[in-house]
Amino acid sequence: MNLKPETLRQIDEVITHYPVKRSATLPLLHLIQEDIGYIPAEAVEWVAAKLELQPINVYEVVTFYPMFRQKPIGRRHIKVCRTLSCALMGGYKTCAAFEKEFDTHRGEISPDGEVTIEFVECLASCGTAPVVMIDDDLHEKVDGARAKELSDEIKRQAVGRNKAASSG
């Protein structure tokens, strides 16, 4: 597991926020997932050693909280709110629109590796339903047409990234 120096610095800093090291479990898992995209088995061991815990103490956290994942996902993460206020305004249609755009199903990595689409529970923005998070960004009032626009943008960014990679 190769963490960036900046991640290691943040890890050492965040541990100082708590009188009991174990409290840093969630922050460390967030930092590792942000760095390498998911929580591999070796990260569980690594965090346990870092915080002077047993691996099971970390593993039970990784397996409980919905945001932690033990496998890689697509390059972009599309989280569509499934809960009542969004569903009342068409959240299921929004999700289907994204699935169609990327030829994939919820919970899978799209064939081009670009996205993973998931249903998530209430994102606390019910007044602007349906809402979607793409990576860290919240998008409001995402109907089918807006889902298409956002998908096109993701595809454009992917093309740009591939061009940059091939020319660089």
The distance of closest approach from Cβ of residue 134 to other proteins in the complex, given in angstroms and rounded to an integer, is 12
- For other proteins, give the closer residue by CB, 26 or 155: 26
Burial label for 74, CB within 10 Å (0-12, 13-18, 19+), is: buried
83 binds other proteins (CB under 8 A): yes
122 binds other proteins (CB under 8 A): yes
Report DSSP letters for 34-51, one per residue.
Answer: HHHSS--HHHHHHHHHHT
The distance of closest approach from Cβ of residue 130 to other proteins in the complex, given in angstroms and rounded to an integer, is 10
Closest CA to 60 of 73, 48, 42, 46: 48
25 binds other proteins (CB under 8 A): yes
CB neighbours of residue 65 within 10 Å: 12
150 binds other proteins (CB under 8 A): no
136 binds other proteins (CB under 8 A): yes
Binding site for other proteins (CB under 8 A): 17-20, 22-27, 29-30, 51, 57, 60-61, 64-68, 79, 82-85, 87-90, 92-93, 120-129, 133, 136-138
